[in-house]
Amino acid sequence: MRIDVISLFPEFVAACAGFGVVGRARERGLLSLHGWNPRDYAEGNYRRVDDRPFGGGPGMVMMIEPLRAAIAAARAADPAPARVVYLSPQGRRLDQALVRELAGRERLLLLCGRYEGVDERLVAAEVDDEVSIGDYVLSGGELPAAVVIDAVARLQAGALNDADSAAQDSFGAEAGGGPGLLDCPHYTRPVSHPLGDVPEVLLSGNHADIARWRRRQALLRTRARRPDLLDRAGLSAADRALLAD
């Protein structure tokens, strides 16, 4: 998968995406990242990329032309068609279903805004999707872009050392197509600690019992913390019996 990032601070996004699973995905050739700075495409001595908003009011707005030229340069760098995603607090809220959609694309072009955002005409002409990482406002699209990159990188085949790991994480797709439950709790050595003991079933070596325990914990946790997910998960009769235990 190829991801191009249009940003006034492309090095910032690249630095966030240099470690752990994302770094490994890049090393393994599963993901390539390319930064494009609209300032490099701006004209004049000051290489201006923003201007005052028409109608007055606070802040500045990112201008059309430097962004358009940066997007054109990014598109021209590779023949694969790119889905242009503008990171915006007004976009579709990112969740694991949207991450799966984005991760399945051959190529993404992530557009990071700054200031009051981007001239609306550029959004209308160039953007395919607007994606928000939550109902709060950050000062730029770089952290949201890094969030998207991390989430899609770990879904690339071969990025995680254990292929089952993503499916077992919170929000992993349910067999029935539901949104997925929260993950069960995890424990590691030591078995006994002043803070508590590891649940015995996890030491039993009985895989069926362990799977049942984990599923029940996931169901209980989801019911306690995110009942909305449980409602949409489409529980089986076996799940309902586990919850009733």
What are the catalytic residues?
A: 89, 116, 154, 169
Shortest approach of ligand SAM to residue 111 CB, angstroms? 7
Token output for 242: 């586990």
Q: Which is nearer to ligand SAM, 8 or 235 (CB)?
A: 8
Distance CA 121, CA 62 (A): 11
* 20 close to 146: Cβ distance less than 8 angstroms: no
The CB-nearest residue to ligand SAM is 113
Number of CB atoms found within 10 A of residue 32's CB:
13
Shortest approach of ligand SAM to residue 136 CB, angstroms? 6
Rounded to 10 deg, the angle between the 20-27 and 142-153 helix axes is 70
CA dihedral sign, ordered 110, 113, 117, 121: negative
Name the residues that contact ligand SAM, by CB under 6 A: 87-90, 112-114, 116-118, 132-134, 136-141, 144
User: Is 138 annotated as ligand-binding?
Assistant: yes
Q: Which is nearer to ligand SAM, 135 or 245 (CB)?
A: 135
User: Is 133 annotated as ligand-binding?
Assistant: yes
Q: Which is nearer to ligand SAM, 82 or 123 (CB)?
A: 123
Distance CA 100, CA 107 (A): 13
Shortest approach of ligand SAM to residue 148 CB, angstroms? 9
Residues in the annotated binding site for S-adenosyl-L-methionine: 113, 133-138
